[in-house]
Structure 1
């Protein structure tokens, strides 16, 4: 509510107080008549204790009783004891004054009528009670009115999303069993296209169309930026259909002949009441499971600390051992030092890019100013989010090949079953823990206007489709229908890993043929990205005016398909093969080194800075630009990191860049990187769901939210210590036992 509205409310309250002062017959007023003899005696006793004068007049007694009554009435309003007052307790005494002030006030700031239009009989009944009590200025009805969004200031600066007062609405308990229900309605404004004046105002209202969306777009993963969120507080008996009908009926009275058409939609999941039901059984079981894991890890750590004899499984969960392992700075044999820095840099960039997406869910008083600010060329940092996953795919191919060829050099064969088992032991426990938490626990640890959209809706999807994630095929069922959408990378990487033995063995045994086949496959994958992007008008780069549908199509037809990500994976395979075949003492020609640095740096800059003009506010989509970016940017971005890894591993550089990326501290971020990837969106969406009011956008404060980053790292450390590391320890034990058993088997020559 604006300043003008607040002034009106204060004016009304002052009038009520003054109206009370107009009553002449104080002793017969309704409230004073209820005071018992004990209260009068108490006033006399207070007077005796406070003053020694015997000249205690009747006028003084009346004055004291009036003051006592004032304190009693103030206590009613201050302590909010509305359970005993389902109607205004002053209305009978001041009917004329309250009716007059209510009529004046509601003429200036009209109240939303939940019973307008074609609504259910139950909704109509409670709406009539609400209107009756609101006209009496009964506290609970006034709260319901107060919690509903009003026309704000700053509309032309993008202050269009009005979240009302979520907690005040849910806390309403009125007469005849009425309780408050909070609904976040969606409004879509369309203007007469022949009116350039309205078109410009429409552009400002919608913050230069940073995204274009409509009410039918999925809003749980990418925000419906063009849709206005408007809070309605209504009696709980009114369904979402009732709210939609009454809101449409109300808007229809004002919108005709304005040049503006307003569409309305209210989803069931966006209407909430106060939770009164007990926690579901599944939530209790899962919570006890997590508590059990914590207790087990602590007990295992105590046993480890005091050298109490236990088995290998208990040792695997030792909190002490895993903490020491997490913060250890010792490198393993064959470790490629610079890769840890590459992983840390891209993990940080990915967190910031994902944060940029989460920002657009929020309500801001200066959203138009925010959009203009984000039209600067340097915002490529957030717009190029798709780039930051490519190095992880390249590193996966590199490390897989490096490991496989090492085994092939030693024994001449691969135990593919063991490799797949090792992969599953690495990924499944941590992923499973996150799915359990986000599906059964997270929906019950918070609330807010958009909580059901960004938290509960994801949980509902996971309840239906969780099995796809454990089979690592969830990336084939559409971005909007995916449990934990951000885990699509796991599906891509696992599917490419499943093919890796075939590609690596071919390259190892038939180098020329293998190199030819892999190069042709990489070229085909690059061509595929270009072709699909151009003909389907996709875009991996988030530009001004991109539609939500275009973003989802880009994901579904290109970004989440392994066939479109093969190029950088094959780059990693070639790099892993080179690192195994070139010794650490290999000396590269200085001229070739300079050429390599120059070419790889230019490719990286071209991939990162080249598309910056596409982020301008006045940019017009060009499918050639989009196709070129999608096809070649991943290659350019990964080229520098690959070249740096080769030089660093072979000992051909001691430059500051290589030293920085090889810093031992990045070993810790490497161990946390998988969990950081998993936990960042749950933390972002928790904060989005909890947000209850619009805030002023300030770039540094919003993007670099250190409290949020702290929770991401803390959640990642907990997930790593309780699930990732213990099961990696168990995997190591199982593989050692398997190798030991194979060593004990008699050979065929015996």
Structure 2
């Protein structure tokens, strides 16, 4: 009863806030007593302004709050008939009707702790199969408090507005964090529109907005139309499975002589597992790359996990916001820096390999390089797209499954062709298949641009370096101007809206023109190290100063925007633009100095850490980790049935992390490594030698 009274007071406050003019909060005891007895209150402040509260009848409010949610006035006759059957079944205490009522969410305790997302009972609803079949819908509710006196109440009900959203926002990539999710079980003949109309009419006048997306409704064993893409996907995976089986069973440990024998060897799990766990140094390995990639990948993994967690319901969701509003949370909010690290490494390694070609051959085999790059990125990328689009939606279900799994599938069906051409990053997150793969598009585009740049650099050092500098400066200016023009931020500040996150992605974050600065820093670093322009010795004292400076520079770059991550922050153009423009430069300088120190054996006592086998192993599965983490995050979000207690340690959920690493190993040895070998067999060095023989 106490919990219900609390909810009623909150709803009464929402109704009062809807029609009030500016108000000064009266004493709490007077406000509470007046709401309960339904009187009209008038107050006069020191400035003689008169304030009024509308009359609120709590008894009427109790009656209007939906205890039984069923579209009595559905748009179809069958819906109206089934709704009446449900009501009649309740009167007769029929089990199927009681289950349908029981499966619908009820007002809980702890709303002011963030326990506003109520799923009800998903599985119980789908099990209803009596006079009518059950349909489970997850409605989005938005409570509006127009009166600033209720800011604290607004903060608590919406779990701190860590990310501000509304019911119409896209929710499959960025969560509709501040919308309340309400599970409703209704007859399967009724539509999402019927439920939305019923809830809107019932809650009319209570300061609540309702939206029920059609994709958020689920029935048991839905009929799915035939899909050519699904047939093609199953055929592809069966073909890979056949090759893996033949390659593994027929592997006698000897090298094949014909292309077909080599093809089977390429798909041998025994060979690939041995290679993935072989931690001996490769002759082409560049020191420090494994360590830098491993540390940044782990940091990015945790940052991505925190975003996925914002989809979940928690009984103490306000605490979730409070934790991520603390100063130390800037480490996760500055996640763009960790993606910058990968751009630096990509620029460095691409330039390093192309410079090797120029030294050996005097030219660059553009066709061969592009083909090798395609085989490096596309097979595993394609496999993930096909699996997430046509296979994963049928694997499981749950309250948010349609949002975070099926919606991605629908988007991929329409826009996958853009990913095939590596141009998907130009269309915004709303129209992108697997939005976390935007980096692949950027990387491919920057790689293509690097090919002519390295030819210019090889012929004229001054012209090449001047081009690198000019393009890097232009990219810096584009980032700065984009912040001002579109009121966006590259830093995830506290209270940022879903729309601003999407705008930041569309107008800057996923565009190579805006992210080229640190990539070109990596290109320049590769040139200077390759041409031995940075060969000089440091004393022990100088080396210590170098590492102290590196750590200080990294800490400053990460922590400089910490104020934007605190609760109550109001967006400002200046700090946001400065961070976007200069953080890649500062972070690039940190990466260069760190990388140079490691390559020149100035790691000192950190040498054992830098050369740790963990980083060498992780480097082999890094691409798999990058691609598979979000599908696994969203799978777990989609199948979650109830709210849990939030604890910061959930960021390091061991079973989930282990599943990511295990699946990454699996995808590496079954897709990535075999197709890389296929390239070498049919287009690479082994094929050239075969022709010469």
**Residues 1:302 and 2:249 aligned together:** yes
Residue 543 of structure 1: how far off its partner (Å): 1.7
Q: Structure 1 residues 527 and 658, CA, compared in 2 at 3 Å: closer, same or farther?
A: farther
Instruction: Check conservation: 2:64, 2:202, Cα contact below 8 A.
Output: no
* Bigger mean CA offset, 295-304 vs 330-339: 295-304
Return the alpha-carbon distance in structure 1 between the equivalents of residues 154 and 349 of structure 2: 52
Aligned partner of residue 286 in structure 2, secondary structure:
coil
**Residues 1:211 and 2:159 aligned together:** no
Deviation per residue, 1:328-380 (Å, 9 max, x gap): 11111142121101001111111110000000000111011221122111112
Residue 526 of structure 1: how far off its partner (Å): 1.2
Return the alpha-carbon distance in structure 1 between the equivalents of residues 545 and 471 of structure 2: 26
What is the root-mean-square deviation in Å for CA atoms of aligned residues?
2.4
Structure 1 partner of 2:98: 142
Deviation per residue, 1:270-289 (Å, 9 max, x gap): 11110154795654653454
Structure 1 partner of 2:531: 581
Structure 2 partner of 1:290: 237
Instruction: Check conservation: 1:600, 1:636, Cα contact below 8 A.
Output: no
Residue 443 of structure 1: how far off its partner (Å): 0.1
Instruction: Check conservation: 2:126, 2:219, Cα contact below 8 A.
Output: yes
Aligned partner of residue 131 in structure 1, secondary structure:
helix
Structure 2 partner of 1:186: 140
Instruction: Check conservation: 2:67, 2:106, Cα contact below 8 A.
Output: no
Structure 1 partner of 2:396: 446
Instruction: Check conservation: 2:74, 2:190, Cα contact below 8 A.
Output: no
Q: Figure out how many residues of one structure are paired with residues of the other and give that number.
A: 632
Give unmatched runs, 5+ long, in structure 1.
6-105, 745-750
Aligned partner of residue 144 in structure 2, secondary structure:
strand
Deviation per residue, 1:285-334 (Å, 9 max, x gap): 53454244234213312322464966111111111111111111111114
Alignment of 1:14-413 (within 5 A): 111-117=67-73, 119-175=75-131, 178-193=132-147, 196=149, 198-252=150-204, 256=205, 260-277=206-223, 280=226, 282-283=229-230, 286-287=233-234, 289-305=236-252, 307=254, 311-413=261-363
Q: Structure 1 residues 278 and 510, CA, compared in 2 at 3 Å: closer, same or farther?
A: closer
Return the alpha-carbon distance in structure 2 between the equivalents of residues 283 and 296 of structure 1: 20
Residue 209 of structure 1: how far off its partner (Å): 1.1
* Bigger mean CA offset, 524-533 vs 299-308: 299-308
* TM-score for both structures, normalised by structure 2: 0.87
Deviation per residue, 1:404-441 (Å, 9 max, x gap): 11111112111111000000010111111101100110
Return the alpha-carbon distance in structure 2 between the equivalents of residues 159 and 526 of structure 1: 43
- The structure whose Rg is larger is 1
Instruction: Check conservation: 1:605, 1:637, Cα contact below 8 A.
Output: no
Residue 161 of structure 1: how far off its partner (Å): 0.7
Q: Structure 1 residues 532 and 156, CA, compared in 2 at 3 Å: closer, same or farther?
A: same
Return the alpha-carbon distance in structure 2 between the equivalents of residues 261 and 225 of structure 1: 18
**Residues 1:723 and 2:679 aligned together:** no
Aligned partner of residue 311 in structure 1, secondary structure:
helix
Instruction: Check conservation: 2:167, 2:176, Cα contact below 8 A.
Output: yes
Aligned partner of residue 160 in structure 1, secondary structure:
coil
Give unmatched runs, 5+ long, in structure 2.
6-61
Instruction: Check conservation: 1:338, 1:648, Cα contact below 8 A.
Output: yes
Return the alpha-carbon distance in structure 2 between the equivalents of residues 305 and 414 of structure 1: 38
Deviation per residue, 1:660-714 (Å, 9 max, x gap): 22323312111111111100000000000101111110110x2111111111111
Instruction: Check conservation: 1:158, 1:366, Cα contact below 8 A.
Output: yes
Instruction: Check conservation: 1:305, 1:320, Cα contact below 8 A.
Output: no
Q: Structure 1 residues 307 and 333, CA, compared in 2 at 3 Å: closer, same or farther?
A: closer
Alignment of 1:689-704 (within 5 A): 689-700=638-649, 702-704=650-652
Return the alpha-carbon distance in structure 1 between the equivalents of residues 64 and 200 of structure 2: 21
Return the alpha-carbon distance in structure 2 between the equivalents of residues 284 and 421 of structure 1: 27
Structure 1 partner of 2:623: 674
Instruction: Check conservation: 1:584, 1:649, Cα contact below 8 A.
Output: no
Instruction: Check conservation: 2:161, 2:495, Cα contact below 8 A.
Output: yes
Residue 484 of structure 1: how far off its partner (Å): 0.6
Kindly report structure 1 stretches of 4+ aligned residues shifted beyond 4 Å.
Answer: 1-5, 106-110, 278-282, 306-310, 583-586, 588-596, 741-744
* Bigger mean CA offset, 678-687 vs 636-645: 636-645
Instruction: Check conservation: 2:65, 2:202, Cα contact below 8 A.
Output: no
Residue 597 of structure 1: how far off its partner (Å): 3.6
Deviation per residue, 1:447-490 (Å, 9 max, x gap): 00110110011011111111111110000111111001000000
Q: Structure 1 residues 584 and 334, CA, compared in 2 at 3 Å: closer, same or farther?
A: farther
Instruction: Check conservation: 2:305, 2:651, Cα contact below 8 A.
Output: yes
Residue 261 of structure 1: how far off its partner (Å): 1.1
* Bigger mean CA offset, 148-157 vs 581-590: 581-590
* Bigger mean CA offset, 396-405 vs 602-611: 602-611
Instruction: Check conservation: 1:606, 1:636, Cα contact below 8 A.
Output: no
* Bigger mean CA offset, 609-618 vs 181-190: 609-618
Return the alpha-carbon distance in structure 2 between the equivalents of residues 695 and 603 of structure 1: 39
Deviation per residue, 1:697-739 (Å, 9 max, x gap): 0110x21111111111111111111110011112223311454
Instruction: Check conservation: 1:343, 1:670, Cα contact below 8 A.
Output: yes
* Bigger mean CA offset, 558-567 vs 333-342: 333-342
Instruction: Check conservation: 2:66, 2:202, Cα contact below 8 A.
Output: no
Instruction: Check conservation: 1:356, 1:703, Cα contact below 8 A.
Output: yes
Q: Structure 1 residues 743 and 526, CA, compared in 2 at 3 Å: closer, same or farther?
A: farther
Instruction: Check conservation: 1:468, 1:474, Cα contact below 8 A.
Output: yes
Q: Structure 1 residues 600 and 276, CA, compared in 2 at 3 Å: closer, same or farther?
A: closer
Residue 587 of structure 1: how far off its partner (Å): 3.0
Return the alpha-carbon distance in structure 2 between the equivalents of residues 742 and 565 of structure 1: 42
Aligned partner of residue 365 in structure 1, secondary structure:
coil
Residue 116 of structure 1: how far off its partner (Å): 3.4
